[in-house]
A and B are shown apart, each in its own frame.
Chain A
Amino acid sequence: MATIFGINLFALSGQLLVGLINGSFYALLSLGLAIIFGLLKIINFAQGAMYMLGAFFAWMALNYMGINYWWALILVPLAVGLLAILMERFLVRPIANEDHLYSLLLTFGIALVLQGLFTHIYGSSGLPYQIPAELKGGTKLPFMYLPNYRAWIIVSSLVVCFSTWWVIEKTKLGAYLRAGTENPQLMQGFGINVPLITTLTFGFGVALAAFAGVLAAPVYSVSPEMGSNILIVVFAIVVIGGMGSIGGAILTGLMMGVVEGLTKFFYPEASTTVIFLFMVIVLLVKPAGLFGKEA
């Protein structure tokens, strides 16, 4: 077997791939946060809870309404996005002109309420959700066994991430969005409904988290804690990528997945801290983040 510096290359390739899969979740979640922060300047602490809500709604859709995984993948982000739109309209907007701290506290409170509510109703042990029949099984690669569902996670999240990036950076709609946040008065002068754009953007950013939640339901435990566990890591990723940088959030998400995967191979005990270590170094060397523009 090929080795380099005494390390089994086959094993290493497996770890890289697994890291990339994990990075796909990070990319989806940090993209949603980056959109909401970049365009709305809201630090959405409820993003983790929305991810949890995505997974729970998928479970509820299947068990209460018989809606299968594939429909859930489309309907659940819509439903959660709709909830987010209501949340933006009635809770976030009234304090939109206050200090950032207010929206941060508000969204953090919403996250705690949701988590408490689901713990109360469904308990803390988690609920089972099966991998859809079409994606069961796996492919034997030379260096590892790749479950089909994991391959699907990479492909679907990359497609969603890069189409989002393309829409925001390369289309006319994206140009409106960016201009609307740069100078809302001027945009309104041109006859563009800025509050509507803001609300829809918030809804979309949250829908991305719900999409990640549905993707996660079959492979991770569907439990009320799942959002808070991942949220802090995702915030660190957004900071590393540069607050508000859309492309930066996606690339950093994937990259941190790989960094974490390699740490799990070489020194597992540090795997939960390595991203924060990375964050500290990036903040010291390049305070605006890897892909952020200097203020």
Chain B
Amino acid sequence: MKAMKKTLLAAAMSVVAATGVQAAGVSNDVVKIGVLADMGGVYADICGQGCVTAVEMAVEDFGGTVLGKPIEIVSADDQNKPDVGSAKVRQWIEDENVDVVTGLVASSVTGAVTKVLTDAKKIALISASASNAFTTKACSPYNAHWTYNVAALANGTVKQMVNSGKKKWFFITADYAFGHALEGIATKVIESSGGEVVGAVRAPLGTTDFSSYVLQAQASGADVVGLANAGADFVNSLKTSAEFGLTETADVAGLLVFTPNAQALDPAIAAGMKATTGFYWDMDDQTREWSARFKARHGAIPAMPHAGAYSMTMHYLNAIKAAGSDDSDAVMKQMKASKPDDFFARNAYLRNDGRMVHDMLLVSIKDAASRKSADDIYKIESVIPGDEAFNPMLPECDFK
């Protein structure tokens, strides 16, 4: 009976959509936000409970209601498994009337979840995933990719280093979709800037011992060894590089560094290393104010996906208010029409393909002597304007 009702409702709604009449107001008398993240695995520090906290803060700062209706948050652990994530999201949509899904960490999970969401015409607000597929080959009118992507990482760190004369590159790459995407786009940037890639090794995800790969990197004679990996893989490979003296004969560049990873490194090893980030807590008064509030609740300084999760939730709620409806198409149209502007989103706009373009930061890791506290880890070297950082829009993804 319930299923029957749902089918009738769906049929009725599609008629409404087809006739171009937009349902005004809030469906089911509640705006329900689902936060899907890695609550206990390798990415838990990057976007787990912290992303839930950030979304809660956005809802509280917004006032807890929109168009007179309450805003509710539900959250779940995707365990970094696409099947777990997509099953949860399907349940949220079908049984719990969830309107939007945020968080979204491992690119593999996001790939599966965005398909489910697009089929159901629900918006995906992607904060922590790195792959640029969600706005290119797997683009959708219901995707909004916020914090960063692999193109921004390559156009930040890699381009800057090649231009400063480091022409010969070797990659130690995490052997899965994210690593391949990052290595691929970095290779394009290197070659178009006049450099060359002299070799690469693909290390399986979760490799503990990188010494074999470091020896191969050393033997290649490269100027720069690019670490196209993340999390524990990044920390382990950098530690081993330092131990085997690679950091003395070549530059080692971490292509994706989150603040908790940078904090896990001995400053003696990591000092001076460049990284690209979408956000740093100690940039100005605005970022410090928000970060202090976040730290008081979460216990650690925010990493960029946390700040992104706040910013995109806020922009989403503002769009509902302005559109006068929580209908996905109306809200997405409004999100693209108005520019996000908060402590995170600088010179920002949501492009038609769903890519949120904003200023990125090129930072370097501080040495022990110049750190004023345990949280004082980056020096901001330069600001990379959003249009230079992100990949250009593909014509087939131009959803107006």
Q: A: which residues have CB within 8 A of B? A: 8, 11, 14-15, 18-19, 21-22, 116, 119, 123-128, 130-131, 138, 144-145, 147, 149-150, 219-221, 223, 225-226, 229-230, 261, 264-265, 268-269, 271-272
Residues of B within 8 A of A119 (CB): 40, 44
Asked if A261 and B212 make an inter-chain contact with CB atoms under 8 angstroms apart, the answer reads yes
Residues of B within 8 A of A123 (CB): 44-45, 260, 300
Known: A116-B40, A147-B243. A126 touches B211 (CB 8 A): no
Q: Whose C-beta in chain A lies nearest to the C-beta of B206?
A: A229
* Among candidates A19, A150, A221, A264, residue contacting B235 with C-beta atoms closer than 8 Å: A221
Residues of A within 8 A of B232 (CB): 124-126, 221, 223, 225
B240 at the interface (CB under 8 A from A): yes
Asked if A149 and B243 make an inter-chain contact with CB atoms under 8 angstroms apart, the answer reads yes
* Among candidates A19, A124, A147, residue contacting B44 with C-beta atoms closer than 8 Å: A124
Asked if A15 and B212 make an inter-chain contact with CB atoms under 8 angstroms apart, the answer reads yes
B209 at the interface (CB under 8 A from A): yes
Tally of contact residues, B, Cβ under 8 A: 42
Q: How far is the CA of A269 from the CA of B203 in the complex (A)?
A: 6
Known: A138-B245, A220-B236, A221-B236. A128 touches B209 (CB 8 A): no
Q: How far is the CA of A145 from the CA of B243 in the complex (A)?
A: 10
Residues of A within 8 A of B216 (CB): 11, 265
Residues of A within 8 A of B321 (CB): none
Residues of B within 8 A of A116 (CB): 40
Q: Whose C-beta in chain A lies nearest to the C-beta of B265?
A: A128
Residues of B within 8 A of A125 (CB): 45-46, 231-232, 235, 258, 260-261, 263-264
B87 at the interface (CB under 8 A from A): no
What 4 A-B pairs come out closest when comparing CB atoms? A264-B212, A125-B260, A272-B204, A126-B264
- Chain B nearest CB, measured from A201 CB (Å): 28
Residues of B within 8 A of A268 (CB): 175, 201-204, 212-213
Q: Mark out the residues of chain B between 25 and 67 whose CB falls within 8 Å of any chain A CB in the assembled complex.
A: 40-46, 48
Residues of B within 8 A of A150 (CB): 211, 243
Residues of B within 8 A of A230 (CB): 208
Asked if A220 and B266 make an inter-chain contact with CB atoms under 8 angstroms apart, the answer reads no
Known: A14-B215, A21-B211. A131 touches B231 (CB 8 A): no
Residues of A within 8 A of B213 (CB): 264, 268
* Among candidates A21, A144, A221, A272, residue contacting B239 with C-beta atoms closer than 8 Å: A221
Residues of B within 8 A of A15 (CB): 212, 215
Q: Whose C-beta in chain B lies nearest to the C-beta of A123?
A: B45
B3 at the interface (CB under 8 A from A): no
Residues of B within 8 A of A264 (CB): 201, 203, 212-213
Asked if B211 and A18 make an inter-chain contact with CB atoms under 8 angstroms apart, the answer reads yes
Known: A128-B265, A130-B266, A229-B206. A269 touches B245 (CB 8 A): no
Residues of B within 8 A of A221 (CB): 232, 235-236, 239, 264
